[in-house]
């Protein structure tokens, strides 16, 4: 099942790249394994997947403790400052930076480990009340504000588009995120040169790739529906 799903996703990514005149190597598939057991992750690993996404710090800790193979773990979910200390050296990138307190805590914890943490700024492109992230018009000032933190490498922007049955309706948000990245880059803020756009999920990753996504975050399309009624690792 996971193998077949991955074949479909890979084919869709290749076709979207072709439509957009992009090289397949420009897009990294993040397999979003949240709520899914290690056995599912191992099936994806057997298909060559090495990049995984989780939205809870505890789940990253549990899974990295159990799986010893070298993999890349992305923290894609909302993050509380008091959990940051577990991530440097464990997660390779944090996609959900949207406030100064969180950025300063990442700075502090990365400095303690003497490493530089790759981060993305989360932007709420559709101004949804239910979602975290900065509004688009706050993003540039925020980037400027945290650009002086020496243990943060601001790699780009991330957005979670609205849930929809019509992926085309999210194109405007993906295009908007790309334009926002380009306009912030053009401001010439010292130390800021963003190359990354994390956008597109199971319902809309092909459109996101057409609009410039460099990371797509696909969960359901690989691992199937999530069951939140059951505890994992239990
Ligand atoms: C769960 C999640 C995804 C994956 O969602 P699917 O619709 O299952 O592909 C992507 N990004 C974030 C931030 C998530 O929390």
From the list 47, 12, 45, 66, the residue with the least C-alpha distance to 216 is 12
149 lines ligand 1 (CB under 6 A): no
Dump pLDDT digits (tens) for 92-121.
999 999 999 999 999 999 999 999 999 999
Question: Using 50, 70 and 90 to split pLDDT, how confident is the model at 233?
Answer: very low
Tell me what the mean pLDDT of segment 70-80 comes to: 97
Question: Terminal CA-to-CA distance of the chain, rounded, Å?
Answer: 23
Pocket test for ligand 1, best of 32, 76, 200, 208 (most atoms within 8 A of CB): 32
- What DSSP assignment string belongs to 152-216? EEEEEEE--PPP-S-GGGGHHHHHHHHHHHHHHHHTT-TT----EEE---TTTHHHHHHTT-SEE
186's CB contacts (< 8 A; 6+ apart) are: none
Which pairing describes strands 72-75 and 93-97: parallel, antiparallel, or unpaired?
parallel
213 lines ligand 1 (CB under 6 A): no
Nearest CA residue ID for atom 4, ligand 1: 219
- Distance separating alpha carbons of residues 134 and 70, to the nearest angstrom: 33
Q: What is the pTM of this model?
A: 0.96
Tell me what the mean pLDDT of segment 59-76 comes to: 97
219 lines ligand 1 (CB under 6 A): yes
30 lines ligand 1 (CB under 6 A): no
Dump pLDDT digits (tens) for 207-223.
999 999 999 999 999 99
Radius of gyration for the alpha carbons in the chain, expressed in angstroms and rounded: 17
Q: Residue 43: its pLDDT value, please?
A: 98
What domains sit in the chain, N to C, each tagged with a CATH number? 2-220 (3.20.20.10)
Nearest CA residue ID for atom 5, ligand 1: 219
Q: Residue 229: its pLDDT value, please?
A: 77
């Amino acid at each position: 099942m996971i193998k077949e799903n991955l074949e479909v996703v890979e084919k869709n990514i290749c076709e979207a790249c072709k439509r957009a005149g992009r090289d397949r190597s420009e897009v990294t598939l993040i397999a979003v394994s949240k709520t899914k057991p290690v056995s599912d992750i191992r099936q994806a690993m057997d298909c060559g997947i090495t990049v995984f996404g989780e939205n809870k710090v505890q789940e990253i800790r549990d899974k990295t403790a159990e799986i010893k193979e070298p993999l890349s773990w992305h923290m894609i979910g909302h993050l509380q400052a008091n959990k940051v200390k577990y991530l440097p050296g464990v997660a390779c990138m944090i996609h959900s930076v949207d406030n100064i307190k969180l950025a300063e805590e990442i700075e502090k914890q990365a400095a303690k480990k003497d490493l530089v943490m790759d981060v993305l700024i989360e932007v709420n492109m559709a101004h949804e009340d239910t979602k975290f992230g900065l509004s688009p018009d706050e993003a540039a000032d925020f980037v400027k504000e945290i650009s002086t933190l020496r243990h943060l490498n601001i790699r780009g922007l991330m957005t979670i588009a609205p849930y929809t049955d019509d992926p085309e309706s999210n194109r405007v948000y993906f295009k908007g995120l790309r334009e926002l990245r380009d306009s912030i880059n053009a401001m010439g803020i010292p130390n800021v040169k963003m190359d990354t756009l994390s956008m597109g999920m199971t319902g809309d990753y092909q459109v996101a790739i057409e609009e410039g996504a460099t990371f797509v975050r696909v969960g359901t399309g690989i691992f199937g529906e999530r069951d939140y009624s059951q505890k994992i690792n239990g």
